[in-house]
Amino acid sequence: MSQHAEEHSRDSIQMPAPTAWPFITAFGIALTFAGLVTHLAVSAVGIVILLRGAIGWWRDVLPTEKHEWVPVEAVARPEVVRVSERWVDHLEVGTGGHRVRIPAEIHPYSSGFFGGIAGGAAMAIVASFFGLITHGSIWYPINLLAAGLVPSLAHADYEHLKQFSGSGLLVGTILHGIVSPLVGLLYAVLLPMFPRRAGLWSGLITPVVWSGLIASTLNIINPTLNERIDWKWFVASQVAFGLVCGYVVARSQKIETMQTWSLSARAGLEAGEAGGEEDKR
């Protein structure tokens, strides 16, 4: 240590120097993604800010890290430490005031995957009934779903949308088959956080909220579907997904989390083998 550093170390500590580059980099990332739904120029500006922030951040770390000395003030301590005579009640897991929102047991992720597949099948059945009853064709809802990625369907007229389309069937099946398990995984993660009436949340409230989110962005994601969608049937298909997926997830065997372990076991403190196994139980 140099003489200058030794003089500083007596009454101060060395800390990383403050920098604004991480905030500038984060702002550039935000503008880059915001441009995807607004204008290409916004993304261009975001990329420039992102690169400048990354370079500045890099130079703050390499080749040598920038530090500053922070003075440390001595805190006067009382000569006699008074011990309080009060005592604290230790709450039991699940009682009032405890962290009950952190689930002690969770559903396995596999239940969300299979629940999403089952819910996706139920949703497809409702959508097929919509096509048959309203438009006399089961291909109509499939082609509408695929219109966001298939240009020929995006500019197709009503009669063409009612006809069978191989590309529409392929794209719609792949899209529906990817999104359904992912939403099912969200159900598996979220359901344990609701202590009561999880079926009500999954089957009714969550699909309505999800439909509202889709309605606010559908004009950008799939303009053709946004122009021709029947929201009553759409919400009904979402409710069918929520009821079936929620039922499959809720019926699965839950897995214990570390919330049921003792504090020493969660902290990873070393103990005897017998004591460690007992703490985990």
Q: What is the pLDDT of residues 200-250, one digit of tens each?
A: 777 777 788 888 888 888 788 778 777 888 888 888 898 899 888 888 888
Model confidence at 82, pLDDT cuts 50, 70, 90, reads confident
> Mean pLDDT over residues 114-122, rounded?
92
Lowest model confidence (mean pLDDT) among 61-70, 105-114, 188-197: 188-197
Using CA atoms, how far apart are residues 85 and 82, in angstroms rounded to an integer? 9
Read off the tokens for 3. 């003489």
pLDDT tens, 28-60?
Answer: 999 999 988 888 899 999 999 999 999 988 888
Q: What is the pLDDT of residue 273?
A: 47
Domain ranges of the chain: 9-71, 105-250
- For domain 9-71, the CATH class is mainly alpha
* pTM, rounded to two decimals: 0.54
Any idea which residue has 């719609």 for tokens?
172
Q: Which residue has the higher pLDDT, 141 or 94?
A: 141
Q: Are 53 and 24 in contact (CB under 8 A)?
A: yes
Asked if pLDDT for residue 117 goes beyond 70, the answer is yes
Using CA atoms, how far apart are residues 129 and 136, in angstroms rounded to an integer? 9
Q: What is the pLDDT of residue 150?
A: 84
3-state secondary structure the chain: CCHHHHHHHHHEEEEECCCCHHHHHHHHHHHHHHCCCCCHHHHHHHHHHHHHHHHHHHHHHCCCCCEEEEECCCCCCCCCCCCCCCCCCCCCCCCCCCCCCCCCEECCHHHHHHHHHHHHHHHHHHHHHHHHHHHCCCHHHHHHHHCCCCHHHHCCCHHHHCCCCHHHHHHHHHHHHHHHHHHHHHHHHHHHHCCCCHHHHHHHHHHHHHHHHHHHHHHHHCHHHHHHCCHHHHHHHHHHHHHHHHHHHHCCCCEECHHHCCHHHHHCCCCCHHHHHHHHC
Q: What is the pLDDT of residue 276?
A: 46
Asked if pLDDT for residue 151 goes beyond 70, the answer is yes
